Chain A
Amino acid sequence: MTNMRQTFGKTLTEIAKKDKNVVVIVADISHGIFSDYREVIGERYFNIGICEPAIVNIAAGLNKVGLNPVVHTIAPFLIERSYEQIKLDFGYQNLNINLVSVGSSFDYSKLGCSHHCYEDVAILKHFKRSQIFLPGSSDEFDVLFTQHYKDNKINYFRITEYPHNHKINLDVNKREYSFKIKEGNDLTIVVLGSQLKNAIQSEEILRKQGYDIEIIYFNTVKPFEENIFLDSIRKTKKFICIEELSYSGGLYEECLKTSLRIDKKIDSDHLSINDFIHDYGSYEQLSKIAGFSVENIIQKIKNLKNK
């Protein structure tokens, strides 16, 4: 199976064959995945080196002369280190950019906190012109990127190393950001990106124990698509949100705000990241430490259901 980063290279190569305005800048990363791209569109691919803030400023300059920059590197350096550049060039001055990260959350689990990034979504969400995509599979990346890379916005695409491996029914002609994965009546799991895998496994176990759980999957935090979610919680009146993001400023916040508009009592809980995950280990090991385990999800659901 093609991983999401390889899909990024392929999708971009196809786009750039037709769109002469796309310019790719990388900060010394993903050379392999761009080998086809370099061959096809060599003069519009640049490895500028390890200087992320300047690269983001340079992308602003490229956009000033009508080019469409795609900037790619590791999430903490692309978003957190370069945040002032993103804020001033693209937030304040209304310029346009495609930011494509790898290594978000704790994907680089053995590299330590310097390479973790949980707050990227929260700090980008602040900008009126931002769009934030967290595809959980390669197919979703391809559709979301192709649909949105030309939007005159701050487009953030967060590539995960750990896709959920679940087939999402995508319609390339429709801009869809949330999907009903499983129908149920007792409680709604709202889940973002790669965590769909854990949500599905948890639901399967709970079903055998007599629970009737609905799963709503999001691959986009902003724009927040509320309709499927609203219909679901009107029915179940309880939801739990699972997101590999900082506990503030993510999908749960959107869900909570939206749920307040319903004239019914809605109970909710969430599973997200609070502070640093200080340990080294595999992605699965760090997931457990952070609470993203099937056992913990099941326990949280039972607590919420019995509330």
Chain B
Amino acid sequence: MLLNKELRLKIVNIIRDAKEGHIPSSFSIVDILDYIYGNVLKIDPKKPEDKNRDYFILSKGHAAAALFVVLNKYGFLSDYQLNSYGQYKSILGGHPDSTKVPGVEASTGSLGHGLPTAVGIAFGLKIKKMNNKVYALVGDGECHEGTIWEAANISSNLKLNNLKVIIDRNQSAQQLMPIENMEKKWEAFGWNTIVFDGHNKLSIKAAFNLNHENQKPTALIANTTKGKGVSFLEGHGIWHHKIPNESEYSLIKKDLES
């Protein structure tokens, strides 16, 4: 059974209204985001700057719509703010802005920046002897960027076991320049790895509940599908940055409500 039909519909609605956004990339991560904001991250929407909070960075910033609907669900953003997405003077746009949106830790959009920033946060917390946890979500296509692997090497050398990276393996890389043996690559960089189904609640839960008793950072590799939940969006590169017209929107809605 498909998780989070309601959140998916909200994603489509705000993107359709704004005529901006990445629907398939948002659909591939929305189940994971919903789970971790509801069950994993220690963050209080009333105190998003609390120094004891956990940190989450959406490194693949083009999936911002998924983050925004989840931040709305958990009380960081009002309905009014969510519905202003992409409008003039809104705090929400096609990529998240940390200077405007409560709960957004990094302004991402240019790929390959969010993970090394998360490494800096995890490293800083270690220096300050604090116990907060740090999470970053990167795309498998984003793993083409050199800074991802610079960060991977640094993290294991610095023994950042307070850092978990979620890799959204939605097969974007496969459409461009395949990255084979993703798990082995992260393991070779000195990371723990866990592979899970990013659209199955039990699998997501099991992955995030598993903690390794060592000094290594952890890579959680999520097998996902771009556009998951709407048959004609799934896996199709053409829909990466496409805005549905009225008839396509009706079909999407029908698919999600079926």
List the interface of chain A (C-beta within 8 A of B): 23, 43-44, 46, 48-49, 51, 53-54, 57-67, 84-85, 88-89, 92-94
Contact = CB atoms under 8 A, between A and B. Distances in A.
26 contacts: A48-B154, A49-B153, A49-B154, A51-B147, A51-B150, A53-B146, A54-B150, A54-B151, A57-B119, A57-B151, A58-B119, A58-B154, A60-B106, A61-B116, A61-B120, A61-B124, A62-B120, A64-B105, A65-B121, A65-B130, A66-B124, A85-B113, A88-B113, A89-B113, A92-B107, A93-B107
Given A62-B120, A64-B121, A93-B98, A57 B147 contact: yes
Contacts of B105: 64
B123 interface: yes
Interface of B: 51, 55, 98-99, 105-107, 109-110, 113, 116-125, 127-128, 130, 146-147, 150-151, 153-154, 158
Contact of A65 (B106, B110, B124): B124
A236 B98 CA distance: 50
Contacts of A62: 120-121, 123-124, 127
A44 B98 CA distance: 27
Contacts of B150: 51, 53-54
B107 A61 contact: no
A57 B127 contact: no
B123 A58 contact: yes
Contact of A57 (B107, B117, B122): B117
Contacts of A54: 116, 119, 147, 150-151, 154
Contacts of B51: 65-66
Given A51-B150, A92-B107, A93-B99, A61 B119 contact: yes
Given A93-B98, A94-B99, A23 B113 contact: no
Contacts of B147: 51, 53-54, 57
Closest 3 CB pairs of A and B: A61-B120, A57-B116, A58-B120
Contacts of B146: 53
Given A49-B154, A51-B150, A54-B150, A61 B117 contact: yes
Contact of A60 (B110, B117, B128): B117
Contacts of B130: 65
Contacts of B120: 57-64
Contacts of A66: 51, 124, 128
Nearest to B121: A61
Given A51-B154, A93-B98, A65 B107 contact: no
Contact of A61 (B109, B110, B123): B123
Nearest to B98: A93
Contacts of A88: 107, 109-110, 113
Residue from the set A46, A48, A64, A88 with the largest chain B CB neighbour count within 10 Å: A64
Contacts of B117: 57-58, 60-61, 64, 89
A58 B163 CA distance: 13
B158 to A, nearest CB: 8
A67 B107 contact: no
A84 B112 CA distance: 11
Contacts of A89: 113, 117
Contacts of B116: 53-54, 57-58, 61
A59 B123 CA distance: 10
B123 A57 contact: no
User: By CB atoms of chain A within 10 A, which of B110, B113, B120 has the most?
Assistant: B120
B98 A23 contact: no
A23 B127 CA distance: 9
B1 to A, nearest CB: 38
A64 B48 CA distance: 13
Nearest to B106: A93
B110 A84 contact: yes
B34 to A, nearest CB: 25
Nearest to B128: A65
A67 B98 CA distance: 18
Contacts of A63: 120
B113 A61 contact: no
A93 B117 CA distance: 12
A67 B99 contact: no
Contacts of B118: 61
Contacts of A57: 113, 116-117, 119-120, 147, 151
A48 B51 CA distance: 26
B113 A67 contact: no
A125 to B, nearest CB: 21
A2 B107 CA distance: 42
Nearest to B129: A43
A48 B158 CA distance: 9
A93 B104 CA distance: 11
A197 B101 CA distance: 51
